[in-house]
Amino acid sequence: MKLYLSSYKLGNKTEELKKWIRENNNRICLIPNAKDAYLKTKEKQESIDFDIKELEYLGFNVTLLSLKDYFGKEKELLKKIKEFNAFYVIGGNVFTLRQAMYLSGFDKFINSIKKQPNYLYVAYSAGISVLANDLHGLDICDAPNINAYNINTIWDGLGFFNYLLLPHYQSKHKETKLIDSCVEYCKINNIKYKTLKDGDVIIESTI
């Protein structure tokens, strides 16, 4: 799987996404569930709409898919997402996102395809942080007890990395100071981490 991991929005390497479209296809599934932690507001919807338009500007055909519609319906989700080989997991609360992935079975799916080269995982903010082995430390910047789906906090991440990816570092984002605190927490507790400034993108392969 190809990973396109941005600190905020699509970042500064969008030519790589255009290349993906040319070499594969332009269908992509946008997963907004990290934002389920927040009340339904005009600002929240505008943020999701911006993410859709940003993808469309690059040439993607975007399908919005809420994992919440598939809680307890893992087989139905698998049937639906097999229509796609590209996924865009947007920012919000990493713990809410992790719960949604668990309740729908998306976590199992994404791990089952990570050794396949014809898949693309695009993400920013919470969507990149959820890839760690362990989410301890992220509670400095994201509240773990919002509990949007009425289940216990899940501290295990998706297990792609043995370190935390910390977005919005030394940036103009509203969470930058919280990320500074998260970095200090990681240092004190010997937690491995990597920081990204807004605009930064990491491109990796899980093969």
Closest Cα to residue 166, out of 134, 126, 205?
A: 126
pLDDT at 39: 76
- Write down the pLDDT at residue 10: 98
Q: What is the DSSP letter of 154?
A: P
* Per-residue model confidence as pLDDT tens digits over 129-153: 999 999 999 999 999 998 889 999 9
Residue 12 in this model has a pLDDT that exceeds 90: yes
pLDDT score, position 40: 76
pLDDT band, residue 41 (cuts 50/70/90): confident
3-state secondary structure of 203: strand
Can you spell out the DSSP letters for 14-42? Answer: HHHHHHHHHHS-SEEEEE-GGGGGS---H
Mean pLDDT of 18-29: 97
The answer to whether 11 touches 124, Cβ cutoff 8 Å, is yes
pLDDT of residue 85: 96
- Express as a percent the part of the chain with pLDDT over 70: 100
Across the chain, mean pLDDT equals 96
pLDDT of the residue at 42: 85
Is 25's pLDDT higher than 80? yes
pLDDT at res. 200: 97
Q: Do residues 201 and 13 make contact, with C-beta atoms less than 8 angstroms apart?
A: yes
Q: Going by CATH, does the domain composed of 2-205 fall within 1.10.1660.10?
A: no
pLDDT at 89: 98
Dig out the tokens for 61 from the structure: 């055909």
pLDDT score, position 15? 98
- d(C-alpha 126, C-alpha 7), whole Å: 9
Report the candidate in 50, 81, 193, 120 with the shortest Cα–Cα distance to residue 181: 193
Distances (CA, A) of 85 to 75, 112, 132, 188: 17, 13, 22, 39
- Tell me the whole-structure pTM to 2 decimals: 0.96
**Predicted confidence (pLDDT) at residue 191 exceeds the cutoff of 90:** yes
In this structure, what DSSP letter does residue 4 have?
A: E
**β-pair type (86-89, 27-31):** parallel
Mean pLDDT of 89-93: 97
CA nearest neighbour of 96 among 144, 44, 129, 139: 144
Question: For a pLDDT cut of 90, what percent of the chain falls above it?
Answer: 94
